[in-house]
Chain A
Amino acid sequence: MADVATATPKSLTSAPLASPKLVRNKSTLPASTGGCINASFGCNHIEEFHKAGENSFKTLRERYEEIIQVIRDKHPIVLQTCLNTKNVAITVLRPTFLCVQCPFIYSEEARKSHLDVKKHSFCCKVVNSRNGTLYCSNCEDYVYDPLFETIRLDNGRKRKFDEFSEDSRSVPPNSTHVPCRAIGLRGLYNMGNTCFMSAVIQSLLHNPLVKSFFLTDGHKTGELCEHDNCLSCSLDEIFTEFFSLEKTEGYGAVTLLMNSWKTAEAQNSELAGYKQQDAHEYMQFLINALHVTNGSLTSDCHCFFHETFYGCLRSDVICDKCNNKTTTDDPFLDLSLDLRTSQLKKKLNGENSKGAANESSMRLEECLKYYTSKEKLAAVDYTCKKCATQGVSTKQFTLLQLPPVLSIHLKRFSHLKDKSSKVTTPVKFPLVLDMMPYTTLYHSPETFTETSSSTTNGKTNGTTSDSSTGYSALLSQPREHWSPKLLSYDLATVIVHKGEMNSGHYVNYSREGKQWFLFDDSKVVLATEAEVLRAEAYILTYVVSDVGKWVAEDEGDGDD
């Protein structure tokens, strides 16, 4: 790396500097995304390749694409096996380097002599089987060429590169100047027991998909909206305020509160009224209302909110006597996980309880495992349709479809007959969550092989490059080889309930880029990852990690 010591502080570099750019639409897109010039090449040596001719540059680009795909798809053992200084293949844990100009992988020590001897200029770094940044031996530094970085960040998916031309620099002809500070980091005033609402609104404000929906005019407001007391319009108002004004103080979400109450009252919901409310209940209510004001009331609604928040839960009940299986699929808005460990142990029902949760703390993965584990249903609860007897059966939940935004609700409020109490069990949750082990696909892949082979075959024909990440390819491999990268989710927001059952307070931790913030009503402060992970979580929001992967796979159908 270069011998320059100062770097912009983390809080600045990781801040969503480009957020204001989201205020754009189709017609003004080149203006709002452009308007900023960048160097055409990462360094003079890449530039030389470009000058040397169309073909030499094309070869370089294609080879880089290939390397990024190798990093994406290959098992870590392949990436971590390299040639050392004696040209012997060894497997290391430390970074390795894939030469861009020849097909070999080198260790850190062997890299320099290889590049010097062979006069190869570029190689790609692999750390922990990731990264792929380009190292230039002439610069003796990593270089971040606009084109190559696009390839790297797109994970090697095919794009049309011909538009990487001069017109990518164009000064906005009619852009509205959005203040640089208007990046949505503001608090919400407590209007009297409304912290439950603030916490939920903040989690929507900092959800990249919801943000994109509102800032691109996803909901038609004003005269174009035909809904009374529309909650989408109310939320749109907050988005507009937060992402276009340079204010730093809190905001009073009066319209949203009023419309929430009016809507709730129309539904005879107890959510209306001046009292401390349950954030989980309000979140469900709000997302449901957002769906109603953006979608259709038909059973199969494809509105933005359905497609972003709703997954599908499969429940299988198997009769212990005749083995008849009854399958029901239901949509879900969030997963409600039980934290009472004694209950969970009971549910495990004689299953190997070694390593099961101790009373003091639990891991989120454990809660999910319990949620999707087999459960014995008592005879009274089940009458088999096939053998027509009331008998013992086994029930199991699995996740048939996962939404891009996965909300997990931890049942911290327990209500047993006459006694209500708060469950304070600490739950350890990860920053990156692999959801694969809880899917129907994982638990019974056989249910997919027949139905999916017919649909996925067509897909594999057209796109060879991406098929290796598709489920068709996945199913052909043994389950042990499934990569944890396949269904990984990144933590985006944590809603925390502090204090007692009846006199608690809600706060929200949300992430923008890599920086976490704590939103406590109208206060906004920086938070550390450690602080977030220590929090007494109530609702967790995870967003699917590689959004682009799914998009690219689907685009592959139509493309070439």
Chain B
Amino acid sequence: MPADEKKKSAETTKPTITDEDLFHIAIPIFDDALFNVIQEIVSDVHISEKKLRMQSAAIQAEAVALTSAQPSTPSSANPSSATKPTAPPIATAPPAGQFNTTAATYDNGKVTLKGNPLKLQRENLCPCCKLPRLMFPIVGTGSRVPEEVNREYCKLHPFIKKPGHDIYGNPFPVDTGKTTKKEREALRKIERQEKDNTPGSADTGTADAESTAGDPGVKKLMAGGKGATYVPWQTCPSCKRSLLITKFAQHLEKCLGIGGRMSRTTAAARLSGLNGSVAGSTQGSRVGTPTPSQANGKRDAEPDSDKEDGPPKKKARKEKKEKKEKDKVTIKLFNKNGKADASKRLPKSSALNDKDKSRTDRESSQKRDRDGSGIDDAPAKKLKVKKDANSALPSITASAQ
């Protein structure tokens, strides 16, 4: 009844809107909406940049305190610090005393700002390695040659946007299956030239004028990834034979003796049976498996590339693998301590006590420059979908522990 009345009264007093009225209403609405969009974008940039400068001011002040307070750097147990000369020494207690930089004051472990860090702090420092961050990509769109090329910068550069290159500025791998031997050799020649710092060869590969890639200092800063013709060799975990990664699937099929044995229809039926708990999605969702076209198969079977650069690469790979193992060991050691008491099923983050958890969140929200979405904070949390019938709501909750 009340709803009916309301409707009626609305009908009787329904205002008539002329085109002119609409014109006068629509334009300010559009203006305001646009204004808000711009506001939000500007606000996002302001938040992330000011936080970075704030933290950088603190890092710089701390660095001054550390170097002034402890002129004799204690030998560090961390081997990686050898390659990071400007990284502050590892200290157990914050250095005492008061120290000043242009942007901040360090006072016995606490840093306070002297003013607006956007005005006073000129550069951003990486919170991890404490080295200055590059503000612009070194090549490609929007690139600039850094003011001081010979400085050591944090290795995490602004990502590069350059056609034919990845985010680190490395050229896309060339499909060696497609090219002839001659073409590959020509490519390799260009690669070698690009690697040399001889100024004359700088623009043989890329002719774009805006590129800063010719600068020798910039070259030194580059990620130094693999060349376009690089295709790694891989040891088959099954038979220990070495082969090109691009041929691995083909080899593995033979190596494991897969293929040709199974009838598609029975496999389909079995799969849906196995995924029984996945009802609702398996039903009707089974789509046929696209099979490779003739052309694909032929291309991959091209024979000539296997032998020519096998042995040297193989050796390099072996060395690298050893290095990788080493790295991995450090990581695992680092994680070892917690293994004993961690709960069997839950990820460790969920086993944190409240205090730790809240600190984790705070820290991560400070470090992650962009925020707002909340997604970034997610990793520290354990989610659980409620399963009990009583609260049969689409609710997502954390595990109690």
| Shortest Cβ distance from B358 into A: residue | A159
Are the CB atoms of B367 and A17 closer together than 8 Å? yes
**Does A381 count as interface, using CB distance less than 8 angstroms?**
no
Across-interface contacts of A14 in B (CB, < 8 A): 48, 369-370
Are the CB atoms of A548 and B328 closer together than 8 Å? no
Across-interface contacts of A168 in B (CB, < 8 A): 359, 362-363
**Does B395 count as interface, using CB distance less than 8 angstroms?**
yes
**Does B337 count as interface, using CB distance less than 8 angstroms?**
yes
| Shortest Cβ distance from B51 into A: residue | A144
User: Please, what's the 1-or-0 string for B302-332, where 1 marks a CB less than 8 Å from any CB in chain A?
Assistant: 0000000000000000000000100110110
Bound-state CA distance A409–B90 (Å) is: 49
Interface centre among A13, A41, A177, A440 (most CB of B within 10 A): A13
Are the CB atoms of B331 and A240 closer together than 8 Å? yes
Q: Which of A142, A270, A557 is B47 in contact with, Cβ under 8 Å?
A: A142
Are the CB atoms of B275 and A288 closer together than 8 Å? yes
Across-interface contacts of A133 in B (CB, < 8 A): 43, 47
Q: Of the 9-residue stretches B6-14, B34-42, B209-217, which lies at the interface with chain A?
A: B34-42
**Does A141 count as interface, using CB distance less than 8 angstroms?**
yes
**Does A558 count as interface, using CB distance less than 8 angstroms?**
yes
Are the CB atoms of B280 and A40 closer together than 8 Å? no
Across-interface contacts of A131 in B (CB, < 8 A): 40, 43
Q: Which of B281, B295, B337 is A25 in contact with, Cβ under 8 Å?
A: B337
What distance in Å separates the Cβ of A334 from its nearest Cβ neighbour in chain B?
A: 5
Q: Of the 9-residue stretches B15-23, B151-159, B184-192, B193-201, which lies at the interface with chain A?
A: B151-159
Q: Which of B331, B375, B383, B392 is A551 in contact with, Cβ under 8 Å?
A: B383
Are the CB atoms of A267 and B159 closer together than 8 Å? no
Bound-state CA distance A69–B44 (Å) is: 20
**Does B397 count as interface, using CB distance less than 8 angstroms?**
yes
Q: Which of B158, B348, B384 is A307 in contact with, Cβ under 8 Å?
A: B384
Q: Which of A274, A413, A525 is B167 in contact with, Cβ under 8 Å?
A: A525
User: Please, what's the 1-or-0 string for A85-124, where 1 marks a CB less than 8 Å from any CB in chain B?
Assistant: 0000000111100000000000000000000000000000
Are the CB atoms of B48 and A15 closer together than 8 Å? no
- Do A181 and B349 contact each other (CB < 8 Å), given the known contacts A217-B335, A249-B170? no
| Shortest Cβ distance from B282 into A: residue | A284
User: Please, what's the 1-or-0 string for B353-396, where 1 marks a CB less than 8 Å from any CB in chain A?
Assistant: 01110111111111111111111111111111111011111111
| Shortest Cβ distance from A403 into B: residue | B385
Interface centre among A1, A173, A255, A550 (most CB of B within 10 A): A550
Across-interface contacts of B270 in A (CB, < 8 A): 267-269
Bound-state CA distance A430–B356 (Å) is: 35
Across-interface contacts of B394 in A (CB, < 8 A): 311, 399-402, 435, 439-441, 487
| Shortest Cβ distance from A131 into B: residue | B43
- Do A176 and B391 contact each other (CB < 8 Å), given the known contacts A9-B136, A308-B383, A409-B285? no
**Does B279 count as interface, using CB distance less than 8 angstroms?**
yes
Q: Restricting to A203-257, which residues have a CB under 8 Å from any CB of B?
A: 208-209, 211-213, 215-218, 220, 224, 240-241, 244-250, 252, 254-255, 257
Q: Restricting to A327-347, which residues have a CB under 8 Å from any CB of B?
A: 330-336
**Does B246 count as interface, using CB distance less than 8 angstroms?**
yes
Q: Restricting to B222-269, which residues have a CB under 8 Å from any CB of A?
A: 223, 225-226, 230-232, 234, 236-238, 245-250, 252-253, 256, 258-259, 262, 264, 266-268
Across-interface contacts of B40 in A (CB, < 8 A): 127-128, 130-131
**Does B96 count as interface, using CB distance less than 8 angstroms?**
no
Bound-state CA distance A334–B114 (Å) is: 53
Q: Restricting to B109-165, which residues have a CB under 8 Å from any CB of A?
A: 109-119, 124, 126-129, 133-137, 142, 154-159, 161, 165
- Do A9 and B135 contact each other (CB < 8 Å), given the known contacts A25-B335, A192-B249, A451-B392? yes
Interface centre among A213, A415, A547 (most CB of B within 10 A): A547
Across-interface contacts of B84 in A (CB, < 8 A): 177
Bound-state CA distance A545–B217 (Å) is: 43
Bound-state CA distance A117–B142 (Å) is: 45
Q: Restricting to B39-98, which residues have a CB under 8 Å from any CB of A?
A: 39-40, 42-52, 54-55, 57-59, 61-62, 77-78, 80-81, 84, 88, 90-92, 94
Across-interface contacts of A429 in B (CB, < 8 A): none
Q: Which of B49, B281, B296, B352 is A409 in contact with, Cβ under 8 Å?
A: B281
Q: Which of A27, A181, A212, A522 is B223 in contact with, Cβ under 8 Å?
A: A181
Are the CB atoms of A276 and B292 closer together than 8 Å? yes
**Does B2 count as interface, using CB distance less than 8 angstroms?**
no
**Does B26 count as interface, using CB distance less than 8 angstroms?**
no
- Do A441 and B368 contact each other (CB < 8 Å), given the known contacts A17-B127, A209-B379, A334-B281? no
Bound-state CA distance A558–B351 (Å) is: 15
Are the CB atoms of A218 and B347 closer together than 8 Å? yes
Across-interface contacts of B88 in A (CB, < 8 A): 171
Across-interface contacts of B35 in A (CB, < 8 A): 94
**Does B27 count as interface, using CB distance less than 8 angstroms?**
no
Across-interface contacts of A413 in B (CB, < 8 A): 287-288, 290
Are the CB atoms of B268 and A270 closer together than 8 Å? yes
Bound-state CA distance A179–B83 (Å) is: 11
What distance in Å separates the Cβ of B230 from its nearest Cβ neighbour in chain A?
A: 7
- Do A258 and B287 contact each other (CB < 8 Å), given the known contacts A28-B337, A94-B32, A331-B279? no
Q: Which of A15, A268, A503, A526 is B290 in contact with, Cβ under 8 Å?
A: A503
**Does A380 count as interface, using CB distance less than 8 angstroms?**
no
Are the CB atoms of B377 and A270 closer together than 8 Å? no
What distance in Å separates the Cβ of B27 from its nearest Cβ neighbour in chain A?
A: 12
Are the CB atoms of A331 and B277 closer together than 8 Å? yes
- Do A192 and B300 contact each other (CB < 8 Å), given the known contacts A141-B116, A177-B81, A275-B291? yes
Are the CB atoms of B375 and A269 closer together than 8 Å? no
Are the CB atoms of B156 and A47 closer together than 8 Å? no
What distance in Å separates the Cβ of B330 from its nearest Cβ neighbour in chain A?
A: 5
User: Please, what's the 1-or-0 string for A481-511, where 1 marks a CB less than 8 Å from any CB in chain B?
Assistant: 0000001001010000000011110000000
Q: Restricting to A284-341, which residues have a CB under 8 Å from any CB of B?
A: 284-285, 288, 294-295, 299-300, 302-304, 306-308, 310-313, 330-336
Are the CB atoms of A545 and B58 closer together than 8 Å? no
Are the CB atoms of B158 and A12 closer together than 8 Å? yes
Across-interface contacts of B372 in A (CB, < 8 A): 130, 153
Bound-state CA distance A20–B45 (Å) is: 23
Are the CB atoms of A174 and B328 closer together than 8 Å? no
What distance in Å separates the Cβ of B162 from its nearest Cβ neighbour in chain A?
A: 9
Q: Restricting to A162-176, which residues have a CB under 8 Å from any CB of B?
A: 163-164, 166, 168-176
Bound-state CA distance A274–B260 (Å) is: 11
- Do A249 and B278 contact each other (CB < 8 Å), given the known contacts A43-B113, A153-B365, A180-B126? no
**Does B205 count as interface, using CB distance less than 8 angstroms?**
no
- Do A524 and B166 contact each other (CB < 8 Å), given the known contacts A274-B252, A284-B281? yes
Bound-state CA distance A12–B142 (Å) is: 13
Bound-state CA distance A402–B280 (Å) is: 13
Are the CB atoms of A190 and B384 closer together than 8 Å? no
Q: Which of A153, A160, A194, A276 is B354 in contact with, Cβ under 8 Å?
A: A160
- Do A15 and B156 contact each other (CB < 8 Å), given the known contacts A522-B173, A547-B383? yes
- Do A504 and B246 contact each other (CB < 8 Å), given the known contacts A163-B359, A452-B393? no
- Do A146 and B288 contact each other (CB < 8 Å), given the known contacts A248-B166, A471-B393? no
Interface centre among A18, A22, A35, A272 (most CB of B within 10 A): A18
Are the CB atoms of A278 and B245 closer together than 8 Å? no
Are the CB atoms of A38 and B111 closer together than 8 Å? yes
Bound-state CA distance A436–B275 (Å) is: 27
What distance in Å separates the Cβ of B241 from its nearest Cβ neighbour in chain A?
A: 12
| Shortest Cβ distance from A215 into B: residue | B379
Bound-state CA distance A440–B382 (Å) is: 25
**Apart from A284-B282, A550-B398, 10 more pairs, CB < 8 Å:** A14-B370, A15-B369, A33-B363, A94-B32, A178-B128, A258-B238, A274-B252, A312-B385, A336-B284, A402-B396
27 example contacts (A-B, Cβ-Cβ < 8 A) are as follows A7-B45, A9-B136, A17-B369, A37-B58, A47-B112, A93-B33, A95-B39, A130-B372, A142-B50, A149-B366, A153-B377, A159-B358, A176-B78, A224-B339, A258-B256, A268-B266, A268-B267, A268-B270, A274-B258, A402-B385, A414-B287, A471-B393, A502-B292, A504-B290, A522-B173, A550-B397, A557-B400
